[in-house]
Amino acid sequence: MGIARFLRHLVADRWAVRSRFPSRTMDAIEAAIAAGEARHDGELRFAVEAALPLADLLAGTSARARAIELFGRLRVWDTERNAGVLIYLLLADKRVEIVADRGIHARVGETAWEAICGMMQREFAESRFEQGAIAGVRAISDLLATHFPPRPENPDELPNRPIVL
């Protein structure tokens, strides 16, 4: 692990999250998720973390590995149609990761997720956190609407509110 990464994680805190994702931005992301889920039968979760826990940082855990861990912990995998998607942002590493359940991933593929991550990271690099998050939610919702159109019964299986870890 590099010293620069260690220091970035050491100094990142909840204030870093709140400054980039204030309450009104979290409300807007939540509304975008709810609006998107009305158009499809998938489930989205948005998680943002300032820095890795110290044990993960010392172990050299990547943003991708952390996203996969959270995909399980937040039960994004546990949707009826295997169409759950996690958007994970690790601020200290300036990384966006998307982890999709096997039902949607098999239909969309890695290239689409990477393109959405790249678009979000470019927005975030320009300090357009709300715009980048909402654009990512909308892009994922478009894919889910194509592959998992809503059924008459479309339960909301996961919370729409973004989570700060």
Scanning the chain, the segments in alpha helix (DSSP H) are 3-11, 14-20, 23-37, 54-58, 63-73, 102-108, 110-125, 129-147
Distance between CA atoms of 78 and 89, rounded to whole angstroms? 21
The pTM is what? 0.94
Encoded amino acid at 41, one letter: D
Going residue by residue through the chain, which has 165 residues, state the pLDDT in tens, using 9 for 90 and above. 689 888 889 888 888 899 999 999 999 999 999 999 999 999 999 999 999 999 999 999 999 999 999 999 999 998 888 889 999 999 999 999 999 999 888 898 899 999 999 999 999 999 999 999 999 999 999 999 999 888 888 788 899 999 999
Distance between CA atoms of 156 and 1, rounded to whole angstroms? 40
Residue with tokens 């870890």: 165
Domains located in the chain, CATH noted: 3-164 (3.10.310.50)
